[in-house]
Amino acid sequence: MFTGLIAETGTIVGFEKKSGAARLRVTAPTLATQLRTGDSIAVSGVCLTALAITPTGFEADLLDETLRRTSLESLAPGSSVNLELPTPAGTPLGGHVVQGHVDGIGRLTSLTAVTMGPESETDWLLKLTAPAALARYIVEKGSLGVNGISLTVAAVERVEHGQVLVTIAIIPHTYAVTNLHTLQPGDPINLEVDVLAKYAEQRAQAPKSETITELSLIGMGF
């Protein structure tokens, strides 16, 4: 499990495509020293397995399913990626529950400054479009994983073809320590909705008899 608090931005130094897969190479001088072969690491919101670890970076294999469902296929050498290690048990949950399982690909619409002054003091307004299939999980003041970053939705507006336009306020710190400042309008963005919203939907759709049985078991201490 991750929390969407980015620990380091890495740089793609290699992207080798194979038949139905790819090998990604990333520089991560801060986090690489904490990795062991087989460890999980979130790369712009995608949970991957660290391989071929060096003091300054790691490699990871991407299967066709990952390439198809995420924005990682669009990466090129020099691209910046957000990195986060799993959250140890007992650690305060600073963001929200992030699994590293991308639900869909959004597109950056704009990222504009809303205050004037030095970049370290400038607030930003990020707007992105999200697929129609995710619209029911994205709500005002709810959590949304954006390239692995735990962010709070400021506003949601329905647009054409069932898509939604999502507005998010970005503080100077988040702008500086993530890859958001490297993105351009139209760039793909990995989106992960709050898993609690999925469970709530499943419970709401469950037959009434199942819900009653479940509540009875809870009341009996099971």
Same domain for 146 and 70, yes or no, is no
pLDDT for the residue 202: 85
- What is the pTM (predicted TM-score) of this model? 0.89
Same domain for 71 and 128, yes or no, is no
pLDDT (tens digit per residue) in 138-194: 999 999 999 999 999 999 999 988 999 999 999 999 999 999 999 999 999 999 999
Beta strand 51-54 pairing with 46-49: unpaired
- What's 122's domain CATH number? 2.40.30.20
Q: How many domains does the chain have?
A: 2
Within a domain: 183: yes
Question: What are the backbone dihedrals phi and psi of residue 144, each rounded to the nearest 5 degrees, phi first?
Answer: -145, 130
pLDDT for the residue 116: 79
Within a domain: 213: no
pLDDT (tens digit per residue) in 45-102: 999 999 999 999 999 999 999 999 999 999 999 999 999 999 988 888 888 999 999 9
pLDDT for the residue 219: 58
Same domain for 178 and 113, yes or no, is yes
CA distance 213 to 209: 6
Domain range for 76 is 8-84
Residue the block writes with tokens 């400021």? 154
